[in-house]
Structure 1
Amino acid sequence: MRFATYTAEGETFYGAVSDTGMNSGMIALSPDFPQWPTMRDVIAADGLNRLAEAAQGKAVSHSDFTYEIPVPNPEKILCVGVNFPDRNAEYKDGSAAPKHMSLFPRFARSFTGASRPLIRPPENHTLDYEGEVAIIIGKGGRRIKAEDAYNHIAALTLCNEGTIRDWVRHAKFNVTQGKNWDNSGAIGPWLVPFTDAAQLDDARIQTRVNGETRQDDTLNRMMFPIREEIAYISTFTTLVPGDTIITGTPTGAGARFDPPKYLVPGDVVEVEVKGIGILRNTVEDEFGKDET
């Protein structure tokens, strides 16, 4: 079963996704669980199974809705950079695989939901895509061992970790500026409960722009596997339920083409992993037709 946060009739709900023919839409579950105001509260209470039980036999509540990011306002969104061998080679600096992973934060406001536009700002037009798997922490912890890491995952979702490329070069030691433009990336469309290591170990991720495959790789080629990501991150910070780790993108982002293939208004970007789904977004300029 898949669970989503969405807006309908001027209110925000969480619920189960139904796609059974004519009965497609959202089954609102948040009214049944007032003790859990948001999906973050559901995750903290280990409540996904309760949601699944409550959804059985219920009719669709909303067929007209707008996706939000699945877990609103997580305490932390941490992204792992340069995590595939071919991505490391793209930098052409002769460096071997790094000893430690690269990390940077993103703010919830920098992401939008599925089926909504990524926003290209007027200040810079180097909006790029990065398809990734995102994991949602269910069981918090500190100094988590790699062999125990999967026990701390509640759910999986997808991410387009949209980036304003020129702005990641504004400083010597960080990329925060280029990674946090409002609505420049997307998370969603929904959460898939994590029940089996094969959901990650055997996963293949693809990113398409206007139907053209740009990124295509398997998670088992990551330089820093997800188990190690959880172990490393939890060494220096306590992970809490709802925290989101965006695990790394394969080669093939627009900046690496010659000339670069940055996103422009009207583009359609899809990130797909079998068993999780497809995250689809369009692209728009922030103020409509750009005059710069």
Structure 2
Amino acid sequence: MSRFASFSAGGETFYGAIIEGGAVALSPEFPQWPTLKDVIAADGLHTLAMAARNSEVTHSSFTYEIPIPAPEKIICVGVNFPDRNAEYKDGQEAPANMSLFVRFPRSFTGHGRALIRPKASDQLDYEGEIAVVIGKGGRHIPETEALSHVAALTLCNEGTLRDWVRHAKFNVTQGKNFDASGAMGPWLVPFTHPAQIEDVRLTTRVNGELRQDDRTGRMIFPVARQIAYISTFTTLVPGDIIVTGTPTGAGARLDPPQFLRPGDVVEVEAEGIGILRNTVEDEA
């Protein structure tokens, strides 16, 4: 399985392949593609895979960055699993259309780094999700063709400040965008077959305790539907990220609620992608 990551070492930022023993920096070989976003725009993941063959580790020690450093758009899908809809206890069936909101790149940190619990709130919560990276852009993309527009998959902990998503009547933006409150990574896995997303187990663990556990086959709005719907109102471009929804089991819904605290370890895992692992620290 090919895995491509953005990482930093020695004051420099690279992208490359993750192999046994560390990372292979490939960005110096492809100056025409400064970031993985540029690689995806040029349909270059296969070229990277070929370049990584028989390569030796260049960095055994490095820090993961979010895979796509500056996506034009990060669009998140809310309430996308049946049990998650039932958590609202409003007696309503799943809506006909999906709930969406946007996040900024600065609200995410990389694999192995700390989620930051801000000074403004002690209600930092986790949401384990799979994210899809758009490879071929477009507008009004038919649902039957939508998956052909996906370049890669990654993982997301869509960290949320629960009290701040309720600061206004119908606006969650502020509670979803505190700096480094979420994480993305560790790497991109090239998307080559619908089976990689259609019925995949997705779990979240906190300090080893299983909190979220569901399968993408139970999504109310499958990924192909998400791409078709979103591309109705906005042009998707290479490097855009769609965060596809979280299962039931977030800390706010436990009795009593269990929010993240400094020292906690959160692991989001999906079959065929890997594990996104982060600790938690208070804002300095």
Q: TM-score range by the shorter chain?
A: over 0.9
In the other structure, the counterpart of 2:189 is 192
Any idea what SS the aligned residue of 2:48 has?
helix
In 2, distance between residues paired with 1:58 and 1:224? Answer: 40
In 2, distance between residues paired with 1:31 and 1:80? Answer: 36
Q: How many aligned residue pairs are there? A: 283
In 2, distance between residues paired with 1:286 and 1:15? Answer: 30
Q: What pairs up with 1:30-179 in 2 under 5 angstroms? A: 30-179=27-176
Residue identity in the other structure for 2:153: L
In the other structure, the counterpart of 2:269 is 272
Does 2:212 align with 1:211?
A: no
Please list the CA deviations of residues 190-247 of structure 1 after superposition, one character each: whole Å capped at 9, or x if unmatched: 0000011111112010000000000000001011010000000000000000000000
Please list the CA deviations of residues 238-285 of structure 1 after superposition, one character each: whole Å capped at 9, or x if unmatched: 000000000000000000011101000000000001110000000000
**Deviation at residue 95 of structure 1 after TM alignment:** 1.0
In the other structure, the counterpart of 1:13 is 14
In 2, distance between residues paired with 1:188 and 1:113? Answer: 6
In the other structure, the counterpart of 2:256 is 259
In the other structure, the counterpart of 2:222 is 225
Question: Which of 277, 281, 284 lines up with 1:284 in the alignment?
Answer: 281
Gaps of 5+ in 1: 288-292
**Deviation at residue 64 of structure 1 after TM alignment:** 0.8
In the other structure, the counterpart of 1:182 is 179
In the other structure, the counterpart of 2:236 is 239
Poorly superposed stretches of 4+, deviation over 3 Å: none
Please list the CA deviations of residues 81-106 of structure 1 after superposition, one character each: whole Å capped at 9, or x if unmatched: 00011111111111111011000000
Any idea what SS the aligned residue of 1:88 has?
helix
RMSD: 0.5
In 1, distance between residues paired with 2:223 and 2:271? Answer: 18
In the other structure, the counterpart of 1:2 is 3
Please list the CA deviations of residues 54-75 of structure 1 after superposition, one character each: whole Å capped at 9, or x if unmatched: 1112111101100000011100
Task: Quote the sequence identity (%).
Answer: 72
Gaps of 5+ in 2: none
In 2, distance between residues paired with 1:209 and 1:164? Answer: 17
In 2, distance between residues paired with 1:264 and 1:197? Answer: 37
Residue identity in the other structure for 2:234: T
Residue identity in the other structure for 1:17: I
In 1, distance between residues paired with 2:268 and 2:39? Answer: 26
In 2, distance between residues paired with 1:227 and 1:167? Answer: 31
**Deviation at residue 179 of structure 1 after TM alignment:** 0.1
**Deviation at residue 174 of structure 1 after TM alignment:** 1.3
TM-score (norm 1): 0.96
In the other structure, the counterpart of 1:290 is none
Any idea what SS the aligned residue of 2:226 has?
helix
Any idea what SS the aligned residue of 1:51 has?
helix
In 1, distance between residues paired with 2:93 and 2:259? Answer: 28
